[in-house]
Amino acid sequence: MKTIWIVDDDEEMLRAMDLMIKMLGFETRFFMHARPTAEALLAGGKPDIILLDINMPEVSGMDVLEFIRRNKKWDKVPIVMLSTEAADMTVDQAMNLGADGYVTKPVMIEELETALEKAMRKRKL
């Protein structure tokens, strides 16, 4: 079973995403901040997919996206960005940095499922 890492500083959103992702048949692991996510990756963790919030304290999701895409160990890991921001400029920035999908909050399960499927196809998983 594939594991999705959810990175979001909003505990309520984490619970909602956890439930939706489990309903879609995936395992989950979640992180409330960018730093523990990076530490888990550096310690050898390798998720099948990352669902990454953009607006987080200290280190933004865009910074985490750049960090992950600069390392060849994780270049096949699909990343779907998650945000309340729907501005074309923000979406374009995320996609240019290497995101494989973008979902706006509040998230509908069908929209999430489609974004995850497209991201996995793009990275050939």
Between vectors from CA 86 to CA 84 and to CA 89, what angle results, nearest 5°? Answer: 125
Residue 124 has pLDDT above 90, yes or no: no
Give dist(CA 120, CA 100) in Å, integer.
8
Q: Is the pTM of this model over 0.85?
A: yes
CATH fold for domain 34-122: Rossmann fold (3.40.50)
The pLDDT-based confidence of 123 (bands split at 50, 70, 90) is: confident
91 with 2: CB under 8 angstroms? Answer: no
Residue 75 has pLDDT above 90, yes or no: no
Tell which residue, 58, 111, 119, 122, has the closest CA to residue 83. Answer: 111
| pLDDT score, position 61 | 96
Domain boundaries, the chain: 34-122
Please give the average per-residue pLDDT across 37-51, as a whole number. 95
Give dist(CA 115, CA 43) in Å, integer.
28
Please give the average per-residue pLDDT across 44-70, as a whole number. 95
Residues 6+ apart with CB under 8 A from 109: 20, 23, 24
| pLDDT score, position 14 | 94
